[in-house]
Chain A
Amino acid sequence: MAHDTPTPTRFEPPVSDDTAPFWEATRDKQLVLQWCTSCQKAIFYPRAACPGCLGDTIEWRPATGFGRVHAVSVQHKPANPFMADKVPYAVALVDLDEGVRLMTNIVGCEPDDVAVDMAVRVTWEPLTDGRHLPLFEPSALAD
């Protein structure tokens, strides 16, 4: 029924074979990362082989969800129609404690207050299919 379908408020990311476990975990608001059991390094974005050694002995482990802002840009124009009611908003690259970098939005503070090196932690925004999109917010705990 049409009225049962939530209206998307985001560009909803597609799921690929390599990334399905990542997106499945977000249904329970769990941030998970691939780890190469040879290199003992975290991998992001998910893929079929380790970008360090091309090994395929990869396992999924929970992430702490903590990290720091590596770089940030405040968007004053919406980059797609879903973002129209969100401007201005902060897009950041965040370095997770596990040593990988991901792109995200920083929420929970004014966009212009987001600073490089700021400590952040993961928070979640629901998508229409039960998945969640990982966002980050300032975290006093990690400081």
Chain B
Amino acid sequence: MADRTLRGQAAIVGVADAASPTGELELTGRALEVTMIAEALADAGLTIADVDGLCYAGFGGMATLGLAEYLGISPRWTDGTNVGGSSYEVHVEHAAAAIAAGLCDVVVGVYASTPRSDRKRSSGGGGGGRRPMPFGPDPRMEFEMPYGLMMPMGAYALSASRHMHSFGTTSEQLAQIAVSTREWAAMNPSARYQDPITIDDVLSSPMQASPLHLLDCCLVTDGAGAFVMTSAERARDLAKPPVHVLGAATCHDHSGIMAMPDLTTTAGAISGPNAFAMAGIKAGDVDLLMGYDSFTITALLHLEDLGFCDKGEGGAFVEDGRTGPGGSLPMNTNGGGLSYTHPGMYGMFLLVEATRQLRGECGPRQVEGAEIAVAHGSGGVLSAMATVVLGTEATL
């Protein structure tokens, strides 16, 4: 079905993000969203008047309506998909399809959340920051809540427990992911944590939910970002080199961790290969992996499920620092959710960094000659996976 592929149909043409070493941002809510959209449009050389498509994973019903009204736009295509942290990769997939089908020309996607500073502002910080509480009887409330699993890290801890049992994965191997990611963060002046850490530092940090230590867990910070997409053809006339969508795919297989079919294999084992097939690439072709790292185990599972190594081999794969600076598979070069920023739904930042790397804009942490980058998002508790393969003009 070659004529049905999204390969090369659409491109990311503008990005923006905001994060801070303090973990806090001045702006909140709509103001932060608008800033991100304005910066991403400026990055692309476009204006809000060009926008006719909108993606938004805001909480509550009809979230895209409120945002569009605030922006003063009338999008003729809209997507309010919210599957958690991978929503933004899903948005790229959907936007590429919509652009390819001629439903719209210029799509903006945005995210802003300020949980860290909201905690200080007791009155709450506006639209973007607050998370919903579990509401009403549902399976989680009846059959998980009474047992006191710390969330979300407890769900990931159960996966790590099973992975260790099945494959002999060690705490040291998981810790290495945090160590390598921190090495990247040291080269990103916006990263929340930039000082080097060791495996011992990770293992001696407080246990959060065994076997996961504090430094196996992502940050809680403010953060925001946006992307702009348009057709591959129009992208060539804009301000920055286009970053083409070569492949995109989604899969989700559970909501609560109790119902995860196999605690050691995510739906990325479906979305990854499907996205790679659409892009016509193999794992070995990937220059850079932005693999959602809510926890060290999350990143490890992505490496296996996307085929960078065999199932169960993730621990050994990362052991020699292969995913850090100078390694053969640079992973989470902005410092990731573990060290850069993690406002709750991290997937936007995967797209922003992948785009900047493919444009060669990343300074000291630039991956030399990066042509193909993968942004792989994870939403829910290892629930919703979405893989986006991005490439430079030369890869088309």
Contact = CB atoms under 8 A, between A and B. Distances in A.
Interface in B106-164: 136-139, 141-151, 154, 157-162
Contacts of B161: 71-73, 116
Contacts of B146: 10-13, 133
Contact of A16 (B137, B162, B209): B137
Interface residues of B, number: 34
Interface string A98-129: 00011111000000100011000000000000
B202 to A, nearest CB: 16
B258 A91 contact: no
Please tell me the size bucket of the interface on A: 35 or more
Given A71-B263, A74-B209, A45 B147 contact: no
Interface in A66-117: 70-80, 82-83, 86, 89, 91-93, 101-105, 112, 116-117
Given A73-B158, A76-B206, A93-B158, A45 B142 contact: yes
A116 B160 CA distance: 11
Contacts of A74: 207, 209-210
A135 B330 CA distance: 44
B151 A103 contact: no
A83 B162 contact: no
A15 B106 CA distance: 47
A14 B137 CA distance: 6
Nearest to B264: A71
Residue in B208, B210, B259 whose Cβ sees the most chain A Cβ within 10 Å: B210
A103 B146 CA distance: 9
A102 B206 CA distance: 28
B208 A76 contact: yes
B276 to A, nearest CB: 29
Given A70-B263, A71-B162, A89 B148 contact: yes
Contacts of A104: 147
B360 interface: no
Looking at chain A's contact residues, the main secondary structure is mixed
Contacts of B143: 13, 45, 102-103
B4 interface: no
Contact of B149 (A12, A14, A45, A75): A75
Contacts of A72: 158, 161, 210
A19 interface: yes
Interface in B207-251: 207-212
Nearest to B209: A73
Contacts of B136: 14
Contacts of B258: 45, 93, 101-103
A13 B144 CA distance: 9
Contacts of B158: 71-73, 91-93
A36 to B, nearest CB: 16
Contact of A91 (B137, B148, B162, B211): B148
Interface of A: 10-16, 19, 45, 70-80, 82-83, 86, 89, 91-93, 101-105, 112, 116-117, 133
Interface of B: 136-139, 141-151, 154, 157-162, 165, 206-212, 257-259, 263
16 contacts: A14-B141, A45-B143, A71-B165, A73-B158, A73-B160, A74-B207, A74-B210, A79-B150, A83-B148, A86-B148, A93-B158, A103-B144, A103-B147, A104-B147, A105-B147, A116-B165
